[in-house]
Amino acid sequence: MRNIRMGLLLGVLGLAVHAGLAQAAEPVKPSEMTGKELAFDRSLGNCLACHAMPTVHDATSPGTIGPPLIAMKARFPDKAALRAQIWDAAVKNPNTPMPLYGKNKILTEQEIDKVTNFIYGL
């Protein structure tokens, strides 16, 4: 009988902990995400799939398909040019493997602005 009570108690505690974790792990809406969060999110920007970024920004498992995202202000003195590249990279390179984030509506205009601001600061 004591083992049954202990099992029930552990089961109830497990459910309580699970319920608490479920609430804490509630996903953030893309509209509420920062540029960094959008860039790192595998279902949205996913910049890390192709680009390396400075490790000070917690970039892990960076890709090597695209150029590293460093010294972006030197590479894109005009931030609008960087935004245009993120919006539709095929304008400069029709064979680009980069997703056309704006043209194909992968990210909203506001999300592209956030990602641009983040990337521009690298």
The amino acid at 44: L
Domains annotated on the chain, with CATH: 29-120 (1.10.760.10)
| Percent of the chain predicted with pLDDT > 70 | 71
Q: What would the pLDDT profile of 104-118 be if each residue is shown by its tens digit?
A: 999 999 999 999 999
The overall pTM is greater than 0.85: no
The long-range contacts involving 33-40, CB below 8 angstroms and separated by at least 24 positions, are: 33/111, 33/114, 34/114, 34/118, 35/114, 35/115, 35/116, 35/117, 35/118, 35/119, 36/118, 38/107, 38/111, 38/114, 38/115, 38/118, 39/115, 39/118, 39/119
Q: What would the pLDDT profile of 70-100 be if each residue is shown by its tens digit?
A: 999 999 999 999 999 999 999 999 999 999 9
